[in-house]
């Protein structure tokens, strides 16, 4: 896991982002993870605990292992977003489902700050194009993709889940020969996918 000063100086094709929350409120972000895909295809990861200034539910803590004690003394959301935004404003931000963008925007409302104007794409949409056969047969969630694509990561850790989303995009690009922006485009604008024999 990279130090922020090292991670922030990298040059990336895209960044994947994942968050974990303290409770069922999407604004209660308690961890943010990033995975930067370099132009040679390698991945750098970074993650940070966040003090949500909110209660932790037993369910969420069981899921990701993060508690109030874990985040004691950690940075709060607003200054962390201020630190991250210059980098994330420069590249496309990948999320696996739309929850991460929803959580970032909810936390911005909660902290009464403007939501960042980042360019987002959903790697679930990318996965649906690359592996349509998974629909109705386990789906396109990270848990199922981990098994079917033989991905190695620790689920429900923000840095690991961000890296997994990045790996899904890279595998989809390799399989289809298409860029992630083509794969994530709405169906009406996406060229028909020709499967290799």
89-110 pLDDT, tens per residue? 999 999 999 999 999 999 999 9
Q: Burial, 148: exposed, middle or buried (Cβ in 10 Å; 0-12, 13-18, 19+)? A: middle
pLDDT at 197 over 50: no
37-90 pLDDT, tens per residue? 999 999 999 999 999 999 999 999 999 999 999 999 999 999 999 999 999 999
Mean pLDDT of the 122-129 span: 96
Which residue in this structure is represented by tokens 């993060």? 66
128-167 pLDDT, tens per residue? 999 999 998 889 998 888 889 988 877 789 999 999 999 9
Q: Which domains does the chain have, with CATH numbers?
A: 4-189 (3.30.420.10)
Percent of the chain beyond pLDDT 70?
94
* Letter string b/e over residues 166-181, b meaning 16 or more CB atoms within 10 A of that residue's CB: bbbbbbbbebbebebe
Pairing verdict, β 92-95 and 119-122 = parallel
């Amino acid at each position: 896991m990279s130090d922020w000063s090292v991670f922030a100086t990298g040059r990336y094709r895209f960044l994947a982002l994942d968050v974990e929350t303290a409770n069922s409120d999407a604004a209660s972000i308690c961890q943010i993870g990033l995975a930067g895909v370099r132009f040679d295809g390698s991945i750098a990861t970074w993650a940070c605990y966040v003090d949500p200034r909110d209660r932790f539910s037993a369910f969420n803590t069981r899921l990701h292992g993060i508690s109030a004690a874990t985040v004691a003394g950690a940075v709060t959301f607003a200054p962390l977003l201020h630190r991250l935004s210059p980098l994330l404003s420069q590249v496309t931000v990948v999320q696996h489902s739309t929850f991460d963008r929803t959580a970032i925007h909810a936390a911005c409302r909660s902290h009464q700050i403007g939501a960042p104007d980042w360019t987002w794409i959903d790697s679930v949409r990318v996965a649906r194009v690359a592996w349509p056969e998974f629909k109705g047969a386990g789906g396109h969630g990270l848990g199922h993709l981990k098994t079917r694509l033989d991905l190695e990561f620790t689920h429900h850790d923000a840095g690991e889940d961000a890296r997994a989303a990045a790996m899904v995009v890279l595998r989809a690009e390799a399989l289809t020969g298409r860029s992630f922006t083509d794969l994530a485009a709405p169906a009406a604008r996406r060229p028909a996918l020709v499967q290799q024999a």
